[in-house]
Chain A
């Protein structure tokens, strides 16, 4: 191609390009920021929220913040992902954190807080109002080194033993067992009659094994008491110590005995926790008892159309093991923290702590509130009401141990549960391994 023609072509191309760039520059809007743009006294602007809620949880959260949006004019931009750890860590470390974020647990929260990434909520929230609405347990769990860095948006209660009332009545003669010994003898009686008394499902994608950790939390709390429990999750007592080992063996009486669990260990390991309770509602029932948190009721209803609470399914609390440690309850909750201090994020986090906000989600079902001032009428059905009562009136309440340990410890805990069910004879090796992880995990 002769040189001037080539030159001409390339000049023409540059002109096209320049026009395009000019168009883009004119059409390009500046990115939306969190800077306040007040209009008529309302706050305006946006606030970004990152959490792991999806599906109906996402709908509930958006419904919860709708009155806030209407009132203040602040637009809530919700980002949901099940990869919360990966996304949150990357964004925080990369310098682009969300304004508010759901936190996987107090363990993770303290890593972020000690890294200086979280905003101290002491300056944002009215501490006397908080103390009126939340018990000390809930406040302390969300503190790191004395600073309030998180709040609990919703709560859950675990260690509820679910049953099918009609079927259960046939084998138990009516009332739920009052002590763990009674529960075990009832289980043995059912097992002797040919059907497995318990259903158990440990599969849960990336966090398989967590239902077993809840079982163990309940057992340690009731068998060895709250002090040992605290030492346990704080890493101050070894896994191979007699108290903890006894808890595993107690659980093993159920989980590791093929006569006690429907489908044996293969079923336990491969059945998802959400569907593991369904055999209770089959005819004839394949099992009679299922230990899970309060959120499982939604699974029951979705998988078994027509099933109604109280008539179709009900629960009793995990009974006491040792009479000197009565009335224990295992609780859990969804933790929220602030990563960017803006007027909008302050307004939103204040709103989320109020009983009015939390009542919205509670009314929609599937959530309990840790807020003491929540009206009992907010609970949609009798079962939810009873669960809420457990939450507020428990003599000894402890947060799920697995959620309180450092993440490396929790991961090892989940895995240990699975290993134990697969191979109960190797308990000592499993506990020794947990001790090794414990020595390493609590260093930070």
Chain B
């Protein structure tokens, strides 16, 4: 408790501290701004190129567009947005991505919980095997899985891609979530068990709500990976206009000789808007779920 007099004494010190603090923070801000600038530069080049006519893009650097004569054009964007099937493929992308993002979440959470909080023989080796599956190259799975799917009659259907993306995303999802679950304090679960609650309660009422940051980051990545996937959709679903996702339609803006690549600049921006918006929307969930109590490393 400070008295008024003591508070008055502290004022100039506080102001000094504030000024010092501001000075000390300059390097911090400088670092952040510098990093952002470096990261932004390549994408900025893409953005400016997407607003220039095709003939200029190939012959002059994009920074020359910033000085007069300013020759910007929305041609590229217009061509991409009105190109064949863009609307339908946007919807298709949504129909592929959203279920493929939601489906693996709970499946991975169950498995991660089992690996983190249950004891059973072979647990660690099995978990390592799951982590090891991270390295299985996608291309090696295409033919065997396609054979299986054809035998089951699933080829060309959306559930086929949903299941495939769920399967492919599981190793990383389980790895990430298990790491997070393990860092939760054991006192929390022990006290729940003393109260007579079983694993069901522990999972749905304790672990899952506090794991929101990890689940949110998982959702972001799975969304981005599925949204930008091309090969899985082409092989399991097909590339016909009625089912093609945006990646296929965008890929077809360029002909086999590579002509039309300037359209890719505009298409890249159009395509990245949704995943970025998704990230911004989910980012606030990172702040929630902060635990009271210590965290194990």
Chains A and B touch each other in the complex, with CB atoms below 8 Å apart: yes
Q: Which residues of A contact B (CB under 8 A)?
A: 1, 31, 48, 50, 52-59, 77-83, 86-87, 89-91, 93-96, 204-205, 272, 274-275, 278, 295, 298-299, 302-305
In the assembled complex, the Cα of A55 lies from the Cα of B262 at a distance in Å of: 11
Among all A-B residue pairs, the 9 with the closest Cβ atoms: A94-B146, A79-B239, A55-B255, A55-B260, A77-B240, A54-B252, A95-B150, A90-B142, A57-B255
Q: Which listed residue, A1, A54, A304, touches B255 by the CB 8 Å rule?
A: A54
Known: A96-B150, A96-B155, A298-B259. A82 touches B251 (CB 8 A): yes
Contact B255 A94 (CB under 8 A): no
Q: Which residues of B contact A (CB under 8 A)?
A: 54-55, 58-59, 84, 139, 142-147, 149-151, 155-157, 201, 230-231, 234-235, 238-242, 244, 248, 251-260, 263
Residues of A within 8 A of B84 (CB): 58-59
Contact B157 A58 (CB under 8 A): no
Contact B253 A54 (CB under 8 A): yes
Q: Min CB distance, A60 to chain B, in Å? A: 9
In the assembled complex, the Cα of A82 lies from the Cα of B251 at a distance in Å of: 8
Q: Considering only CB atoms, which chain B residue lies closest to A79 in the complex?
A: B239
In the assembled complex, the Cα of A242 lies from the Cα of B238 at a distance in Å of: 49
Contact B150 A302 (CB under 8 A): no
Known: A57-B256, A95-B150. 13 other contacts (CB 8 A): A53-B255, A53-B256, A78-B240, A79-B234, A80-B248, A81-B234, A82-B251, A86-B231, A91-B146, A93-B143, A96-B146, A272-B258, A302-B259
Q: Min CB distance, B201 to chain A, in Å? A: 7
In the assembled complex, the Cα of A164 lies from the Cα of B182 at a distance in Å of: 71
Residues of B within 8 A of A57 (CB): 255-256
Contact B59 A303 (CB under 8 A): yes
Q: Which listed residue, B55, B142, B201, B251, touches A304 by the CB 8 Å rule?
A: B55
Contact A54 B235 (CB under 8 A): no
Residues of A within 8 A of B258 (CB): 204-205, 272, 274
In the assembled complex, the Cα of A205 lies from the Cα of B257 at a distance in Å of: 10
Residues of B within 8 A of A95 (CB): 146-147, 150-151
Contact A299 B259 (CB under 8 A): yes
Contact A87 B231 (CB under 8 A): yes
Residues of B within 8 A of A299 (CB): 257, 259
Contact B55 A80 (CB under 8 A): no
In the assembled complex, the Cα of A2 lies from the Cα of B256 at a distance in Å of: 65
CB<8 Å pairs between A and B, sample of 28:
A31-B156, A48-B240, A50-B239, A52-B256, A55-B252, A55-B253, A55-B254, A58-B84, A58-B252, A77-B242, A79-B234, A80-B239, A81-B234, A81-B251, A83-B234, A90-B235, A93-B143, A94-B146, A94-B147, A95-B147, A95-B151, A96-B150, A96-B155, A96-B156, A278-B58, A299-B259, A302-B55, A303-B55
